[in-house]
């Protein structure tokens, strides 16, 4: 979610990137939750969610390094 601040388009008011992740947080969480609990292959579910998390962390890390 936090990475959204960096990659989401800012939109006309320059706030979409900040607001949308906060607004959609419950939905993001719910999708991940149901995916994780219904996934047939647990290992793949771990991998998918793990990759999403790592991608976000890399984005945030890069954002701080490049400044």
- Across the chain, how many H-helices and E-strands are there? 3, 0
CA angle 21, 23, 27 (to 5 degrees): 85
Task: Round to whole Å and give the CA distance between 19 and 12.
Answer: 13
Q: Interface with another protein includes 18 (CB under 8 A)?
A: yes
> Is residue 28 near another protein by the rule CB under 8 A?
no
Instruction: Give yes or no for residue 42 binding another protein (CB under 8 A).
Output: no
For residue 45, the minimal CB distance to another protein (Å) is 13
Site residues (CB under 8 A) for another protein? Answer: 1-3, 5-6, 11-23, 25-27, 29-30, 33-34, 37-38, 60, 63
């Amino acid at each position: 979610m936090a990475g959204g601040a960096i990659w989401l388009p800012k939109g006309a008011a320059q706030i979409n990137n900040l607001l949308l992740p906060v607004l959609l947080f419950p939905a993001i969480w719910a999708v991940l939750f149901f995916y994780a609990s219904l996934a047939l292959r647990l290992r793949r579910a771990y991998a998918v969610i793990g990759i999403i998390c790592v991608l976000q962390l890399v984005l945030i890390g890069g954002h701080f390094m490049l400044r």
